């Protein structure tokens, strides 16, 4: 049987943090190691342009995301790693899909709806204020990303599930119109177990709450962030409940089951919050030490990343050119 295609993209809009690692990077790296799957991973740089208008930052985040992916275990020989902007066929397909996309479907897409809701809440007269057409048609470009590679599985966070469903709908409209299986119907793959990771204030870890712990930061910065994790006011010696502790939730993520069980006992025995934080910091430092080193190497001289992008582009286009040929023949253009 042919290998099933697993594909996902990440927008390069900031430095990768622990929440990205658990929610997106780790599960995709693990999936890509399965022998019956072929992984395609890309930097969704043109998606980032819907909101990020700083060329230097966009370039930097694109490299740093690729470096993070590789440092955290993605093997660019085994999987195909590329930049969305390197694949012209994606944008051609995006137009074709736009012609099959009911406008009402875009009205219901969540990134757009969120902005409309924000406008309503802030009493803005124009509900579409701050909405550019890139944001409005975001799901169409995303559908093109997915369908151009014949993707079967699309690992994403639960907030992106709707977008994958839109891709599936568009593929179905198209296939039905021409009575052929031009596109593979994709499915979202959502890892429920890692859905909510707390940030340093106890709310869901997210860049938008600014409560995240970046992975590739100086030891000093990370230590400071960990020391700022909010706790209750129980004192050293008082038993503590690990299940309600952010420190413990983060520790568990990085530790072995034995270490986790030992730490739970220390909570019962009244470990001081300060010591629990030190233990988390030590665990974090050890877990990401090798990755940090690799990340720094890749970022110090980006020529290796440039080669990886060039190679990824060649391999990806072998697939995308076939898809776009099929689409062109199907719709009846040159
Ligand atoms: N929209 C995704 C996000 O914000 C990124 C993305 C773009 C993507 N294209 C994709 C994810 C295709 C999966 C498949 O996280």
* CATH value at residue 64: 3.40.50.620
Whether residues 162 and 275 share a domain: the answer is no
Helices (H) and strands (E) in the chain, counts: 15, 5
Task: Give the torsion sign (CA, 246, 228, 69, 254).
Answer: negative
Q: What is the largest CA-CA distance in the chain?
A: 76
Cα(333) to centroid(ligand 1), Å: 29
Specify if 266 maps to a domain.
Answer: yes
**Chain segment 88-127, per-residue pLDDT in tens:** 999 999 999 999 999 999 999 998 999 999 999 999 999 9
Task: Decide if 256 is inside a domain.
Answer: yes
Q: Is residue 206 part of a domain?
A: no
Residue 110 lies in a domain: no
182 with 263, same domain: the answer is no
145 lines ligand 1 (CB under 6 A): yes
**How many whole angstroms from 8 Cα to the centroid of ligand 1?**
6
CA dihedral of residues 36, 38, 39, 40 (deg, nearest 10): -160
The 10s digit of each residue's pLDDT in 201-221 is 999 898 889 999 999 999 999
Tell whether 95 and 239 lie within a shared domain. no
| Ligand 1 midpoint to CA 91 (Å) | 15
Is 212 a domain residue? Answer: no
Query: Is the CB–ligand 1 distance for residue 147 below 6 Å?
Result: no
**Domain assignment present for 234:** yes
In a shared domain, residues 282 and 306? no
At residue 275 the predicted structure's pLDDT band, cuts being 50, 70 and 90, is: very high
| One domain for residues 96 and 236 | no
CATH number (domain holding residue 268): 1.10.240.10
In a shared domain, residues 13 and 75: yes
The domain containing residue 234 runs over which residues? 217-287
The answer on 94 and 35 residing in a single domain is: yes
Structural domain count of the chain: 2
Between 44-58, 194-208, 307-321, the lowest mean confidence (pLDDT) is in 194-208
Which residue's alpha carbon is nearest to atom 11 within ligand 1?
Answer: 9
48 ligand 1 Cβ < 6 A = no
The reply to whether 209 falls in a domain is no
């Amino acid at each position: 049987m042919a290998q099933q295609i697993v594909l996902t993209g990440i927008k390069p809009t900031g430095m990768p943090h622990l929440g990205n690692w658990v929610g997106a990077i780790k599960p995709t790296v693990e999936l890509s190691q399965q022998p019956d799957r072929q992984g395609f991973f890309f930097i969704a740089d043109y998606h980032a342009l819907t909101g990020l208008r700083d060329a230097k930052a966009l370039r930097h985040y694109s490299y740093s995301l690729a470096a993070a992916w590789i440092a955290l275990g993605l093997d660019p020989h085994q999987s195909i790693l590329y930049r969305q902007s390197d694949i012209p066929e994606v944008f051609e397909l995006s137009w074709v899909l736009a012609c099959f996309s009911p406008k009402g479907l875009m009205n219901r897409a969540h990134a757009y709806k969120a902005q409309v809701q924000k406008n309503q809440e802030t009493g803005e007269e124009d509900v579409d204020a701050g909405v550019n057409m890139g944001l409005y048609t975001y799901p169409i470009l995303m559908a093109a990303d997915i369908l151009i590679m014949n993707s079967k599985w699309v690992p994403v966070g639960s907030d992106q599930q709707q977008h994958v469903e839109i891709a599936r709908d568009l593929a179905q409209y198209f296939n039905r119109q021409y009575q052929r299986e031009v596109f593979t119907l994709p499915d979202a793959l959502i890892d429920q177990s890692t859905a909510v990771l707390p940030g340093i204030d106890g709310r869901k870890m997210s860049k938008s709450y600014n409560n995240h712990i970046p992975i590739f930061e100086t030891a000093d910065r990370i230590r400071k962030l960990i020391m700022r994790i909010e706790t209750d006011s129980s004192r050293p010696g008082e038993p503590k409940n690990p299940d309600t502790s952010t420190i413990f939730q983060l520790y568990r993520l990085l530790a072995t089951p034995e270490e986790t069980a030992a730490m739970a006992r220390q909570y019962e025995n009244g470990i001081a919050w300060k010591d629990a934080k030190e233990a988390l910091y030590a665990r974090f430092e050890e877990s990401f030490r090798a990755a940090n080193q690799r990340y720094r190497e890749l970022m110090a001289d980006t020529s290796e990343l440039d080669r990886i992008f060039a190679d990824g582009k060649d391999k990806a286009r072998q697939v995308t050119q076939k898809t776009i040929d099929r689409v062109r023949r199907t719709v009846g253009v040159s």
